[in-house]
A and B are shown apart, each in its own frame.
Chain A
Amino acid sequence: AQSVTQLGSHVSVSEGALVLLRCNYSSSVPPYLFWYVQYPNQGLQLLLKYTTGATLVKGINGFEAEFKKSETSFHLTKPSAHMSDAAEYFCAVTSRTGRRALTFGSGTRLQVQP
């Protein structure tokens, strides 16, 4: 069975500071990995995903994430936070075979202070 752990339900950074949102997964085989963002009262929007190939993945809005198999991690980063980045971020995994449904982490709410 797969699981996802997001460390820190709330993260607060200053505008212009580095954003680091942590995600660790548990899976018998390396899964596909995703980061989604949810703005208030909206659905989820894909930020980036890792399926195969280069382990550093670049997404929208300046975000990137690195798949580290040895650490079973897929942390999300952005060099410089913007006020518009304030939202909830979800890490998710899905199996490379079999059932396709995403398993989500519990989410991290990012606050950006002026």
Chain B
Amino acid sequence: GAVVSQHPSWVICKSGTSVKIECRSLDFQATTMFWYRQFPKQSLMLMATSNEGSKATYEQGVEKDKFLINHASLTLSTLTVTSAHPEDSSFYICSAQREYNEQFFGPGTRLTVL
């Protein structure tokens, strides 16, 4: 149990375009999901917390207009990188929180902006 999927697993796009990443909890309901960014050989950096039915809470320094988050249901959250630029290239990982504060992570999405 406790499986989280992400789609796509990798994406290459041109500068200025928008990219949507989906995160789904497959076998449990998650009222809270999280979006992280990870640079090579570094730990996870929390970008935002997504609660079902309400606006996401963004960490300091994360542009909410660039990284749009929607938590449409108890099993789906999406991250849209708007007007992507090369500096947005990174590994994006979502997680879904189950009971007892346990987080289960998706496999990640590698974004490359040309």
Q: Say whether A and B bind each other.
A: no
Which residues of B are in contact with A by a Cβ distance under 8 Å? none
